[in-house]
Structure 1
C-alpha cells in the first residue's frame, strides 16, 4: 500500500502590517509535489479548508521556473479544495508523514494554530516524519511533546534566514524573525547554507524521536521532498 503524506498550506492571505497579499509560496509546493506525487498518496489541508491562498508574488518571482509554472497551470485543484486541519486531526493514523509548505502566511496562522500544534504533536509522538520548508518551520517553534517539552529542544534545524528576510525586503513587516525563534527553541542549533538562497536541507530528530526534516528556502523544496521519500524508505 502506498505511503500517505499530509501536506499543510496556510490560510493567511494578507500581511497584517501592510495589507499586502501573502499565502503559500509556489515553488515550495510545486517542487516537493513534483518529487512526491508519483510515489505517495497526498492529502492537502489548511486551517480554514477550501482554497488556500497562493502568494501572487511567488508566481511572478518563479515565472521562469518550469516546474512551478507547470504546477500552477495544471494542479489548481490541489489548493482549491483543501480539507480543514481539524478534519485531518482524527486521521493521523492514516498518514506516514506531515509536510508544511512555506511562504509568509504560516508566520501568522500556523505558528499559533492549536489544531496544527496538536497535529504536529500527534505525528511526532507516533514517530511519523514531520517536515517543513522555508518559513514552514515556524510551525515547530511552539510545538511540544505530550509531556510539554519543546519539540525542537534537541534538534538541529534550518529555515528562512534573517539575511534572506532582509534581502526579500520583508523584515520590517514580520512579527518575529524565524531564524531567531528557531535559534532560541533549539538553544543555538539553527544552521543555514553558506550563501543566502542556496539549498540547505537538514535531517534531525524531534524531542520524542521522530524524524524531522527542514529546508531553508525555496531552493530547498525538492530536497525536502527527496528526504521525505528517503525517511519513508521509498
Structure 2
C-alpha cells in the first residue's frame, strides 16, 4: 500500500487536478492525451517538472546515470569528441552540442569537463529545456560549479532550424507528450481524457489531425 501524501503534496495534487479539469472544460469536455500529459508535466508552477520540487538524485523521486557517477558523461564525451572534430562548421570552430532536457545539469557539466580535458570543447553547448524551473536550476548549477565554462552554455526555447553537431538526450523520450490511439472495430480512434466525478476517464474520439489520421491508417 502506498503511503498517504503529505498535506502540501495533497494540496498541490488538487491544484493540478483543478487545472486539468479547467483545460478539459475550455476544450469542450475532451482533450487529447498529449495535451493532458503536457499539462501534467509542464504547466508552469504546477506540472511535475515545473513545480519546483527536487526531482533528481537521492533527495528526489528518481536517479539517472549522471547523478550516480561522472563516468557516464565522461564516456559520452569520448564518443562526442571525434564527431565535433570532424564538423565542417566554420574554419576553426567545432560543432555544437544540443542537449534535450538537461535535468539537473549534471550531465552537461560532466561532458563539458571531459571535453575540456580532451581539448575538444564545442563552440556552444545548447540546452533545450521547456521547464522554467529546471532551466533556472541548470543555470545556477553550471554558473556555480564551472563559471569558466558557463559562457559556452546557452538555453533555447525551440529546436533550431538548422544544426551542426551532436544531439544528446538522456532519459528524455519518456517525458515527451505523445498522442495515444485506440484501435476499435471502426478503426483507430484518438484516446483522450474527460472528467469523471472528481477524477478523469478515457474517451475515444475520431482523429481530427489529418497527418495523425494518415499515419494511424498506415499502421
User: What TM-score, normalized to structure 2?
Assistant: 0.32
Give 1 or 2: higher strand fraction: 2
User: What TM-score, normalized to structure 1?
Assistant: 0.31
